[in-house]
Amino acid sequence: MSAMKAVQFHNYSGPEALVYEDAPRPVAGPGEVLVRVTATSVNPFDCAVRAGYMTGWYNYPLPHIPGLDVSGVVAEVGAGVEQFAAGDEVYARADPGHAGAYAEYVALSADLVARKPSSIDHVHAAGIPHVMLTAWAGLYAGADVREGQRVLVHGAAGGVGHMAVQLAKLRGAYVVGTASANNRDFVLSLGADKVIDYTATPFDNVVHDIDVVLDTIGGTTLDRSWSVLKPGGLLLSTVQSPSEETAAAHKVRQGLVFAAMPNAAALTQVAQWIDAGRFKVEVSTVLPLRDARRGHELSETRHTRGKIVLQA
């Protein structure tokens, strides 16, 4: 079996566990495409996997190559794959049960893969899949956000947050985002109608009658979000499960947003929006794949605008 370079870990630990080394190069099995990875990105999910927090959900054999986001070029196709051919530029979110994107090559089920937006490069395309699909799962699949509704997005400048603002606006919602002062103009540029500097103004003092809260922060931010919802409103969190008892006491609904299963149809739709100038991705930091450890360290500060991307 031929080798490739990859970042993997041999034990669950901090960012120092990530090692850039040789690993077996995968092949495209039936129904799969082998993608030569041009870029991937760092997600909090990757950090949680590396730290061992996801062992109750996924049984990864060690060593494990993390990474969900992929943008690259099809290197080969497996038996039965007709929608892609070698040389196609694609992007995808790997199945979280296998991951494997922190590598020069990754084999993916063809039904997880979509054609990359033609108007952006691989670095920016790699910043889209996981966070976009998470926001999609919350606002579209979970909340079914509609025109005229009021949506509050916590962490609106972050990975999931900056996707959520745009998805809500595309549905015609009135969007309020919380962000630091230095990210105010950025969040407004995404289409937000109002931005609250969480360092200066308690959001629950100035926001009310919200239909949907999408929380990406957790803790006291989640706890304070109950009071801003209108009766029958919905509090969704990407980081912790909101209390059913508290929801009942406030006569609202709640839910935990599970990272959406890979959805090529949603990726195809977003690619069309991007190429039409209606959607964008923010990449704040670009690092070589061998510096994935630094990417994880930056991600864990939880103050990154948009995405951290790794170039293979």
Is the domain of 77 the same as that of 182?
no
**CATH code at 124?**
3.90.180.10
Percent of the chain with pLDDT over 70: 99
Q: Which domain holds residue 292?
A: 3-128+281-311
Residues 225 and 293 occupy one common structural domain: no
Whether 111 and 25 map to the same domain: the answer is yes
- The domain tally of the chain equals 2
Is 264 inside a domain boundary? no
* Strands, E assignment, the chain: 3-8, 19-24, 32-42, 69-77, 89-93, 105-109, 113-115, 150-154, 174-179, 194-197, 210-215, 229-237, 253-256, 283-288, 307-311
Q: Which two tokens stand for residue 45?
A: 């999910």
How many C-beta neighbours within 10 Å does residue 51 have? 17
Q: Look at residue 119 and tell me if it is in a domain.
A: yes
Residue 267 located in a structural domain: no
Q: Same structural domain for residues 20 and 35?
A: yes
**Same domain for 135 and 116?**
no
Are 176 and 227 in the same domain? yes
Domain assignment of residue 268, yes or no: no
Q: Which amino acid is at 274?
A: I
**Averaged pLDDT of the chain:** 96
CATH number for 202: 3.40.50.720
Which pLDDT tens digit goes with each residue over 208-258?
999 999 999 999 999 999 999 999 999 999 999 999 999 999 999 999 998
Residue spans of alpha helices (H) in 98-156: 122-125, 129-136
Same domain, 156 and 60: no
Is pLDDT of 263 > 90?
Answer: no
Asked if the structure places residue 270 within a domain, the reply is: no
Assess if residue 286 is contained within a domain: yes
User: According to the model, what pLDDT value does residue 1 have?
Assistant: 66
92 and 65 Cβ atoms separated by less than 8 Å? no
Of the two residues 295 and 57, the one the predictor is more confident about is 295
How many other C-beta atoms are found inside a 10 Å radius of the C-beta of residue 137? 22
Residues 39 and 117 in one domain: yes
Q: Which residues on neighbouring strands pair with residue 212, listed in sequence order?
A: 151, 234
Is the per-residue pLDDT at 271 higher than 90?
A: yes
Question: Domain check: are 116 and 154 in the same one?
Answer: no
Closest to 217 measured CA to CA, from 189, 257, 267, 265: 257
User: Is residue 275 included in any domain, yes or no?
Assistant: no
Residue keyed to tokens 């209390």:
243
**Cα 47 from chain centre:** 13
Q: 256, 272, 296 — which closes off a domain?
A: 256
Residue 263 inside a domain? The answer is: no
Of the chain, the percentage scoring pLDDT greater than 90 comes to 96
pLDDT in tens, 77-93: 999 999 999 999 999 99
Q: Same domain for 88 and 202?
A: no
Helix residue spans in the chain (DSSP H): 44-51, 122-125, 129-136, 159-170, 184-189, 203-206, 220-225, 244-249, 264-275, 292-299
Same domain, 121 and 44: yes
Let me know whether 113 and 149 are in one domain: no
Residue type, 112: L
Please give the structure tokens belonging to residue 171.
């549905």
